[in-house]
């Protein structure tokens, strides 16, 4: 198979997260306060925007959706304290969900990001099938309020093919926000230079292409990562919402390589800034490049 025809971009379950970054102020929490989630904030984000209605194409604004609930999250409460992150996916009856369908090589994808858009992580906790508890070792490296997204496919009758639930977790300490100052079309990470080309147009399907180079030479040894040659998460600045996106290209086979370019199609519903995170793998190591794109209105659009 020609690798150049398979420059697909995986977005967990064929979605790219378009999440907003709330403004971050100094956050101080006592050490003895358990790391609980901000349910009220999550629900306000859901009800205030009203964009999670059927057909809107927006996910990830609520701790409950499609008959499932993201249960309370426990995690270390302060920076630098090693511990464990734990949670359950519950049914509407309050029972732990234990049956999941594999999606892009994993049964559940967990994305965490601080509310200013920094400290992005995409990880994969382990399920205890007996209790329905997902867990993994965890340590925070900076204080602040974090948004956690659980992205999964329930393996039960009449369940949707994709569910995205979210909660927030506060980490004690003084949070120094990282400001989003405007568009950013390039990044340097671990010796790789990564450039983003293309526009985002609100309400329209747009093609974005990411090109990876190292020492001025095209990086042609990109390896499959979670069933594709790259994984993109894009966070909409303002409301922490996911948007559907369609990946381009065929799924790579084991041992395939590709590069230097990765392409995908995205369809933002609104104008404004989007924070993009690209995970790509070379020599068995995953690297993350970050960008900022300003989605504009379609040509010919007028404003009153």
Lowest mean pLDDT among 89-103, 105-119, 127-141, 236-250: 236-250
Distance CA 115, CA 277 (A): 15
Distance CA 290, CA 186 (A): 8
How would residue 264 be classed by pLDDT, with cut points 50, 70 and 90? confident
Quick check: helix, strand or coil at residue 175? Answer: coil
User: CB-based contacts of 136: which residues, under 8 Å, 6+ apart?
Assistant: 84, 85, 123, 124, 125, 126
State the average pLDDT over residues 156-179.
93
Distance CA 60, CA 67 (A): 14
State the average pLDDT over residues 10-17.
40
Q: Is the pLDDT of residue 292 over 70?
A: yes
Backbone angles phi, psi at 237, to 5 degrees: -75, 100
Q: pLDDT tens digits for 37-87? A: 334 333 333 322 222 333 345 777 899 999 999 999 999 999 999 999 999
How would residue 268 be classed by pLDDT, with cut points 50, 70 and 90? confident
Q: Where are the alpha helices (DSSP H) in the chain?
A: 39-49
Domains and CATH numbers, the chain: 3-15+180-295 (2.60.40.1930), 23-171 (2.60.40.1930)
Q: Six-digit token pair at 112?
A: 């965490």
Specify the pLDDT at position 61: 83
* CA 248 to mean position of chain CA atoms: 18
How does DSSP classify residue 116? T
Q: How many H-runs (helices) and E-runs (strands) does the chain carry?
A: 1, 21
Q: pLDDT tens digits for 184-237? A: 999 999 999 999 999 999 989 889 999 999 999 999 999 999 888 998 888 788
Radius of gyration of the chain, Cα coordinates, nearest whole angstrom: 19
142 CB neighbour count, 10 Å cutoff = 17
Q: Is the pLDDT of residue 28 over 80?
A: no
DSSP result, 79-137: BT--EEEEEEEEETTSPBP--EE-BTTBSEEEEEEETTS-S-EEE--EEETTTTEEEEE
């Amino acid at each position: 198979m020609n690798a150049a025809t398979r420059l697909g971009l995986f977005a967990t379950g064929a979605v790219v997260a378009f999440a907003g970054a709330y403004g971050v102020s100094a956050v101080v929490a006592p050490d003895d306060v358990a790391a609980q989630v901000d349910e009220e904030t999550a629900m306000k984000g859901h009800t205030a925007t009203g964009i999670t209605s059927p057909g809107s194409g927006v996910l990830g604004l609520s701790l409950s959706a499609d008959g499932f609930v993201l249960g309370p999250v426990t995690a270390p409460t302060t920076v630098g304290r090693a511990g464990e992150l734990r949670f359950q996916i519950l049914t509407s009856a309050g029972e732990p969900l234990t049956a999941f369908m594999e999606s892009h090589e994993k049964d559940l994808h967990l994305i965490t990001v601080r509310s200013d858009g920094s400290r992005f992580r995409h990880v994969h906790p382990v399920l205890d099938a007996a209790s329905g508890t997902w867990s993994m070792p965890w340590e925070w490296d900076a204080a602040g309020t974090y948004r956690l997204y659980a992205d999964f496919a329930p393996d039960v009758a009449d369940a949707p093919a994709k569910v995205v639930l979210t909660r927030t977790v506060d980490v004690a300490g003084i949070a120094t926000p990282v400001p989003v100052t405007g568009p950013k079309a390039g990044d340097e990470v671990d010796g790789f230079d990564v450039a983003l080309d293309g526009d985002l147009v609100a309400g329209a399907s747009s093609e974005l292409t990411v090109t990876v180079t190292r020492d001025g030479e095209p990086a042609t040894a990109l390896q499959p990562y979670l069933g594709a040659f790259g994984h993109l998460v894009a966070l909409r600045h303002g409301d922490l919402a996911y948007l559907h996106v369609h990946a381009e290209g065929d799924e790579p086979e084991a041992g395939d390589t590709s590069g230097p370019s990765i392409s995908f199609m995205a369809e933002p519903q609104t104008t404004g800034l989007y924070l993009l995170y690209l995970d790509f793998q070379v020599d068995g190591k995953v690297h993350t490049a970050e960008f900022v794109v300003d989605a504009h209105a379609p040509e010919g659009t007028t404003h009153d």
